[in-house]
Chain A
Amino acid sequence: MKVLVVDDEPQIRRALRTSLEAHGYEVATVGTGEEGVVASADQQPDLVLLDLGLPDMDGTEVIRRVRGFSDVPVIILSVREAQSDKVAALDAGADDYVTKPFAMEELLARARAALRRAGPDEPPQPTLRYGGLEIDLARRLVTLDGEQLHVTPTEYALLEALVSNPGKLLTHQWLLRRVWGQGYGTETTYLRTYIRALRKKLGDDASSPALIVTEPGVGYRWVGESA
């Protein structure tokens, strides 16, 4: 697995290289957005870790250019203050973000999830299982502890959007467009209402979530452990 690190701080590059190599990844590092775009094309990495605060180019612009030729998963590294930049980067096609300073294990977990999603398509599983929760994608049936749940079509569409992107942070805008259609994007109230209803039906507690995690002001993430 090849990881490309795009960050202008040499110390961060060194720390990431050491830690990632210790986990068996092959690592390439560059210091500017321009080099990042070029390296993404030339070296065909399996994953890009991209700092949003690059000196030469807006991180969102880097993502847009990379997305022009590649679907490589991109994880944003950014400081807490840059919330709106994060959302913009996610909407531009980034897969996830990690806030600096981050714990290495958190970054590695996100990286693994992103690589798994991007990996070779596993034979489509007709049924997903998360503990007592079963989602039969072929027949569009949801059962909890053996009992079939009544789920409205919109709720099902939302659930399907979430489970088909395990571990990925899905922005409000992305979910609204995916579930409600292209004309939507700002109607976060709908989304919130349906997420709440879905959580209730699935028996997930938002204050210690096992299935759906809220990222306030950004979106939602499916964290259900398949079993």
Chain B
Amino acid sequence: MVVESPPGRLARLTVRSVGIGLLATLAGTVLALLTYQLQGAGVAIFILAVTIAAVSGGLWAGVVAAVLASIALPIVEYPDRVLRFDQLRDLIAAVVFLAIAVVVGLVVGYAADERDRAGRREREARLLAFLSAKLLSGDVPDRVLDEFVQVLLEPLGLASCQVSVTLDGQDIEARAVRPGVPRGGPTEVIPVVVSNIPLGTLIAERPEGRRSFTRDERMLLEAATRQAAVALDRARLDARARLAQLDAETNQLRAAMFSSVTHDLRTPLASIKAGVTSLLDVSATHDKGQQQELLTTILEETDRLNRLVGNILDLAKIRAGALIPKRVATAVDEVAEAVVARMRPLLVDFTVELQLAPDLPEVPADPVQLDQVLTNLLENAARHSPRGGTIRIHVGETRGAIRVRVADEGPGIKPEEREKVFEAFYRGRESPESSGSGLGLAIARAIVVAHGGRIRIEETTGGGTAMVVDVPIEETVL
């Protein structure tokens, strides 16, 4: 790194260093003139002046001060004999001055260079640390790369920076340009490689007419690019792991669905087929009442089948990530009213109490999906309530969310079972043979979560279950 590092104060003869040398000598001269009666004071004062010049201005300031001091010393010490160097004393003084200037200047210059290098290394280290923190934040590769190229611009003095990589067959490109800077200067192209697999390239470009990249800068660029490559590789592996997990979940779901399909789909189909074949059977004689009974069974089983198919489709949509709410300003209280109105025929065996807080704000939500949530919660409440029981629905506002509470007078759910009821195909132990498909609550939760909301179970004072849904009033990102 030292070889090509920009030369420090060793070689710089600048106006500043000459100025400092001049000033120090001038001050020394004045001081020496004031104290000229004191024998030898002049030499000491000029040594001090040269040292100060070399310390504060570097080598060249010291040398300038030494030369000037060598001239000034005889003038100050012997005002009658202008510029006489033949005296051994003045010659020695001049040599001593120069030696001090060189030694002190070199030491100071070296220290300054070291300080510069340390500062630069620190800046580089900080940049790299910042980059790796950004890159490994687990954010999506596109966004990470966008930030990455942006961050590189300033410290490397770039006019533009661009990364293009191919990750698992997907092309990602990020590009940052410093506005108002003329492009077309020296350009560095660095391959983005991870474990010997080339992913793409990074192209860094200086503003027009600027010097090309130093070795340090190139190494910094390479280090930064390596960081980016590692981060991209991690993102790729993460995505694969997620896919694998999804695969595993899907397989598990398939197995559960398979066992459910055999039971839940075939049972109503069996009833329907039995009923229909019985009615078509010319050898059988059904009276009006028997016919009615068979037909009612067929109708009920058809509805059950329809609900189940709907639920399975919803679940499939959820698992495929296709359950995206189409958000519009939705009045949850109005949806609740409509759901209760529609479900009245199914709820004739129960007392339904609907309480709505006045002046509730609208929420950004999908009315059809919210309808589905409330329908499933009501169905669930009806399924677990004793005949003649009361189902209480309350819609109110709570800290930034609309809260719907559906309470039943059923047997309640044990705390350890409360999370499980939201899993697909789970049926409560109390009612393993109940007519539910075990999907309604799973779907309700998926929809609520897709809206950035929460769903949980509370115990009611009567020992029943209350399903509590919070839908945020402000749209929240998942």
Contact, CB under 8 Å: A83 / B368: yes
Is residue A84 contacting chain B, with contact meaning CB distance below 8 A? yes
Expressed in whole angstroms, the Cα–Cα distance for A192 and B361 within the complex equals 11
The closest CB in chain A to the CB of B334 belongs to A214
Contact, CB under 8 Å: A188 / B341: no
**Smallest CB–CB gap between A18 and chain B, Å?**
14
The B interface, classified by DSSP as helix, strand, loop or mixed, is helix
- Once A80-B310, A81-B313, A83-B368 are accepted as A-B contacts, the answer to whether A217 and B340 lie under 8 Å apart by CB is no
Is residue B271 contacting chain A, with contact meaning CB distance below 8 A? no
Q: Which of A40-48, A67-75, A202-210 contacts B (4 or more CB under 8 A)?
A: A202-210
Contact, CB under 8 Å: A207 / B334: no
Is residue A152 contacting chain B, with contact meaning CB distance below 8 A? no
Residues of A within 8 A of B306 (CB): 101
- Once A81-B313, A208-B340 are accepted as A-B contacts, the answer to whether A216 and B329 lie under 8 Å apart by CB is no
Residues of A within 8 A of B331 (CB): 192
Residues of B within 8 A of A182 (CB): none
The closest CB in chain A to the CB of B299 belongs to A103
Expressed in whole angstroms, the Cα–Cα distance for A192 and B330 within the complex equals 10
Is residue A215 contacting chain B, with contact meaning CB distance below 8 A? yes
Contact, CB under 8 Å: B338 / A215: yes
Contact, CB under 8 Å: B341 / A207: yes
Expressed in whole angstroms, the Cα–Cα distance for A83 and B331 within the complex equals 17
Expressed in whole angstroms, the Cα–Cα distance for A128 and B256 within the complex equals 57
Contact, CB under 8 Å: A214 / B329: no
Contact, CB under 8 Å: A207 / B367: no
A 72-95 to B, binary, CB cutoff 8 A, 1 in contact else 0? 000000001101100000000000
Contact, CB under 8 Å: A217 / B367: yes
A-B residue pair count with CB separations less than 8 angstroms: 50
Expressed in whole angstroms, the Cα–Cα distance for A216 and B366 within the complex equals 10
Contact for B341 among A83, A84, A103, A206, CB less than 8 A:
A206
Q: Which B residues, 324 to 340, have Cβ-Cβ distances below 8 Å to chain A?
A: 326, 328-331, 334-340
Residues of A within 8 A of B35 (CB): none
Is residue B132 contacting chain A, with contact meaning CB distance below 8 A? no
**Smallest CB–CB gap between A138 and chain B, Å?**
32
Q: Which B residues, 364 to 378, have Cβ-Cβ distances below 8 Å to chain A?
A: 366-368, 370-371
A 194-227 to B, binary, CB cutoff 8 A, 1 in contact else 0? 0000000000001111000111110000000000
**Smallest CB–CB gap between A12 and chain B, Å?**
14
Contact for B328 among A206, A213, A217, CB less than 8 A:
A217
Contact, CB under 8 Å: A207 / B368: no
Q: Which A residues, 169 to 183, have Cβ-Cβ distances below 8 Å to chain B?
A: none
Is residue A189 contacting chain B, with contact meaning CB distance below 8 A? yes
Q: Which B residues, 347 to 402, have Cβ-Cβ distances below 8 Å to chain A?
A: 352, 354, 362, 366-368, 370-371
Expressed in whole angstroms, the Cα–Cα distance for A66 and B352 within the complex equals 44
The closest CB in chain B to the CB of A217 belongs to B367
Interface centre among B310, B330, B341, B366 (most CB of A within 10 A): B341
Residues of B within 8 A of A214 (CB): 334, 337-338, 341
Residues of B within 8 A of A80 (CB): 310
Contact, CB under 8 Å: A216 / B330: yes
Contact, CB under 8 Å: B341 / A216: no
Contact, CB under 8 Å: A206 / B302: no
Expressed in whole angstroms, the Cα–Cα distance for A189 and B364 within the complex equals 12
Residues of B within 8 A of A206 (CB): 334, 337-338, 341
**Smallest CB–CB gap between A118 and chain B, Å?**
26
Is residue B344 contacting chain A, with contact meaning CB distance below 8 A? yes
B 266-307 to A, binary, CB cutoff 8 A, 1 in contact else 0? 000000000000000000000000000000000100100010
**Smallest CB–CB gap between B96 and chain A, Å?**
91
B 113-147 to A, binary, CB cutoff 8 A, 1 in contact else 0? 00000000000000000000000000000000000
Contact, CB under 8 Å: A189 / B335: no
**Smallest CB–CB gap between B279 and chain A, Å?**
15
**Smallest CB–CB gap between A88 and chain B, Å?**
13
- Once A188-B328, A188-B329, A208-B340 are accepted as A-B contacts, the answer to whether A216 and B368 lie under 8 Å apart by CB is yes
The closest CB in chain B to the CB of A199 belongs to B337
Contact, CB under 8 Å: B341 / A213: yes
Contact, CB under 8 Å: A207 / B335: no
Residues of A within 8 A of B326 (CB): 84
Expressed in whole angstroms, the Cα–Cα distance for A189 and B361 within the complex equals 10
Contact, CB under 8 Å: A207 / B371: no
Residues of A within 8 A of B337 (CB): 206-207, 214
Expressed in whole angstroms, the Cα–Cα distance for A88 and B326 within the complex equals 15
Expressed in whole angstroms, the Cα–Cα distance for A150 and B89 within the complex equals 119
**Smallest CB–CB gap between A176 and chain B, Å?**
13
**Smallest CB–CB gap between B363 and chain A, Å?**
12
Known contacts A208-B341, A216-B371; 10 further A-B pairs (Cβ under 8 A) = A84-B326, A101-B306, A206-B338, A207-B337, A207-B340, A207-B354, A209-B341, A213-B338, A217-B328, A217-B366
CB pairs A–B below 8 angstroms (23 shown): A80-B310, A81-B313, A83-B368, A101-B306, A188-B328, A188-B329, A206-B337, A206-B341, A207-B337, A207-B352, A208-B340, A208-B341, A213-B341, A214-B338, A215-B338, A216-B330, A216-B334, A216-B335, A216-B367, A216-B370, A216-B371, A217-B328, A217-B371
- B: which residues have CB within 8 A of A? 299, 302, 306, 310, 313, 326, 328-331, 334-341, 344, 352, 354, 362, 366-368, 370-371
